[in-house]
A and B are shown apart, each in its own frame.
Chain A
Amino acid sequence: MTAGRGTEKGAATPGGAAHAQAGAAGAPPRRALPAVHMHRVGVRFGDATVLEDVSLEVEPGCFLAIVGPNGAGKSTLVKVALGLLTPQQGHAALFGEVAGAHPERIGYVPQLKTFDRTFPATALELVVTGLRGRWPARVTRSEGELARAALSRVGAERLQRRQLSRLSGGELQRAYLARALARRPELVLLDEPATGVDYLAEHDLYDLLERYQADTDATVVMVTHDLAAARYHADRVLVLNRRVHGFGTPDEVLCEDCLERAFGHLGHHHALAI
């Protein structure tokens, strides 16, 4: 595990809703298109403003953690990036193209609470959906090999024939991660991936992500409630509560002032993280 990866460098715009940019720590300057680009994104559900004037740019190879209180719009921001939600204001692009245009370049790990445990399926079938983009009637030999390799990469090859309904939270998380990584995505989006998993499984998850990133130079964007995880694993942190309250290296934005502005108070666990 690499600690404090994001503390070395960074062009950041903490505390502002204005344009903010994040690059991979220690990496040479890149000319590649940003992995994630959002320009003045605004989302409303009825009368409620969920996101307001959110602009950010994430360079390829960056590990970005998105933190903020409940209802801050973190998951909504991920949905905008995935192309599941079209913002009423502004626009979102991934690798220079409109969000949702190239699902094959993205690996998505959803919150576990969305999973239907009554569905008859094995872990292997779930991983194959990440390769095929459809539910498989039959798993072909090549799909089986790729899916087993993906399960093996996350230390879960033994789960391949297991029914999803019989997996623990940590095992299920590995199966979802294998599904997301099976197609070797350039961008991995995770929405609170550690919810419902124990401490060790959570740290295994971060190790796996870091290893995958080291192997492929992929970009990782992770929504998390865990400020300590954001501090120790991310290159950049976005502090969100409807608007951008901070964007930069963990040292720059996981500070008392920024967290108090976003969370409205400085709780005990926030204090521990900073």
Chain B
Amino acid sequence: MSLAGILQLAFMQRALAAGVLIAVMAGLLGVFVVQRRLSFLGAGLAHAAFGGMGLGAFVIVSTGLLASGVGLLRHPLWIAIPFSLLAALGIAWVREHTRLSSDTAIGVFFAVSVAMGVLFFSIIPPDVNLGLSLMDLLFGSILSVTGSDLLVILSVTVVAVVFLSAAWGALGYATFDDELARTDGVRARLLEYLLFTCAALVIAVSAVVVGIILMAAYLVIPAASARLLARSLLQMTILSVTLAVLSTVLGLALSYLIDVPSGSTIVLTQAALFLVAAALPRR
């Protein structure tokens, strides 16, 4: 089938739409994650989402919500999102109120969440059909995105893009120099909590689609490639989003053509673009 033919397929259209929306969110967010040296945050919050999904799955099965007529209530995401938010705010609080570094704070929440996820998924009877396999959760299942999944992703994209665009100047200033920004009245602490909240929301929703293991790549690689090429924060932001979207589209097409999981082709495309950016002469 030709590439144009592929795009006629409804599941491919949904996958492309979900991938592009996630790329836009991750590309925007990634700029601040990379410049604030929080690259481990993506992995940490994705694994927090895993713990939240485990808890959610356990709650749904044990309370009988699986038989609920409301589709959303049958999805563990509605518990994974607040769980990830709590983890993100916990990491931000530990960073602000203790002498521990970001890496250590994230590492603690990372380990606890994975342990919780493993615990809850292992006590759910194997014959229960959650409509979501452990493998999907770990490695993503972008080709099985449903219409309601897409609606949730679209809603989160609107929230994330509005927040990150409105706060871009203040976030950029606080990212450059937190103290200098605060002397000019920027509420840097509040912004950091909001940034972490936004990251938790984006990551929890996206991790179900692109997979927990590959989520960190979405946040880090396009922004890192953009940093290699950009001469200003605005250029870096535009390039980061562009590279994230480009690698998603190319990766999805490649995945269909050579029949391999799309998460791997998207991340490998991101990595190829990073190598190109690294090889280009510095201006």
Instruction: Contact check, B169 vs A136: say whether CB atoms are below 8 A apart.
Output: yes
Name the residue of chain A whose CB is nearest to the CB of B188. Answer: A84
**What is the CA–CA distance of A106 and B185 in the complex, to the nearest angstrom?**
12
> Is A125 at the interface (CB under 8 A from chain B)?
yes
- Contact code string B124-163 (vs A, CB < 8 Å = 1, else 0): 0000000000000000000000000000000000000000
**What is the CA–CA distance of A119 and B31 in the complex, to the nearest angstrom?**
11
- Contact code string B158-185 (vs A, CB < 8 Å = 1, else 0): 0000000000111111011101101111
Within the complex, which residue of B170, B233, B234 is in contact with A119, where a contact is CB–CB below 8 Å?
B233
B170 proximity list for chain A (CB < 8 A): 134-135
B177 proximity list for chain A (CB < 8 A): 110, 114-116
> Is A16 at the interface (CB under 8 A from chain B)?
no
Within the complex, which residue of A100, A108, A121, A122 is in contact with B176, where a contact is CB–CB below 8 Å?
A121
Minimum CB–CB distance from A80 to chain B (whole Å) comes to 12
> Is B186 at the interface (CB under 8 A from chain A)?
yes
Per the 8 Å Cβ criterion, residues 191-228 of B in contact with A are 227
Residues of A within 8 A of B (CB): 82-84, 100, 103, 106, 108, 110, 114-116, 118-122, 125, 129, 132-138, 163
**What is the CA–CA distance of A125 and B169 in the complex, to the nearest angstrom?**
12
Instruction: Contact check, B185 vs A133: say whether CB atoms are below 8 A apart.
Output: yes
Greatest chain B CB density within 10 A among A110, A122, A132, A135 is at A135
Given contacts A134-B172, A134-B173, contact A120 B183 (CB under 8 A): no
Between A and B, 10 residue pairs with Cβ closer than 8 Å are A103-B184, A108-B180, A110-B179, A116-B176, A119-B35, A121-B176, A121-B232, A135-B170, A137-B169, A138-B234
B179 proximity list for chain A (CB < 8 A): 84, 110, 114
Do most interface residues of chain A lie in helix, strand or loop, or is the interface mixed? loop
Within the complex, which residue of B169, B230, B235, B236 is in contact with A134, where a contact is CB–CB below 8 Å?
B169
Name the residue of chain A whose CB is nearest to the CB of B236. Answer: A120
Within the complex, which residue of A84, A110, A120, A136 is in contact with B230, where a contact is CB–CB below 8 Å?
A120
Instruction: Contact check, B234 vs A137: say whether CB atoms are below 8 A apart.
Output: yes
Within the complex, which residue of A120, A135, A138 is in contact with B231, where a contact is CB–CB below 8 Å?
A120
Interface size class of B (residues with CB under 8 A): 20 to 34
Given contacts A110-B177, A110-B179, A116-B176, contact A121 B233 (CB under 8 A): yes
- In order of increasing CB-CB distance, the 10 nearest A-B pairs are A135-B172, A134-B169, A133-B184, A135-B173, A137-B234, A120-B230, A108-B183, A82-B183, A103-B184, A103-B185
**What is the CA–CA distance of A119 and B235 in the complex, to the nearest angstrom?**
12
B175 proximity list for chain A (CB < 8 A): 119, 135
Name the residue of chain B whose CB is nearest to the CB of A126. Answer: B176
Given contacts A103-B184, A133-B185, contact A119 B176 (CB under 8 A): yes
A120 proximity list for chain B (CB < 8 A): 227, 230-233, 235-236
Per the 8 Å Cβ criterion, residues 233-260 of B in contact with A are 233-236
Instruction: Contact check, A137 vs B168: say whether CB atoms are below 8 A apart.
Output: yes
**What is the CA–CA distance of A134 and B236 in the complex, to the nearest angstrom?**
17
Instruction: Contact check, B176 vs A118: say whether CB atoms are below 8 A apart.
Output: no
A136 proximity list for chain B (CB < 8 A): 169
- Contact code string B13-45 (vs A, CB < 8 Å = 1, else 0): 000000000000000000000010000000000
Query: Other than the known A108-B180, A114-B180, what 8 A-B pairs have Cβ atoms closer than 8 Å?
Result: A82-B183, A100-B183, A100-B185, A103-B184, A103-B185, A120-B236, A122-B232, A129-B173
Greatest chain A CB density within 10 A among B169, B171, B227 is at B169
Given contacts A110-B177, A120-B235, contact A129 B184 (CB under 8 A): yes
Name the residue of chain B whose CB is nearest to the CB of A161. Answer: B231
**What is the CA–CA distance of A122 and B235 in the complex, to the nearest angstrom?**
12
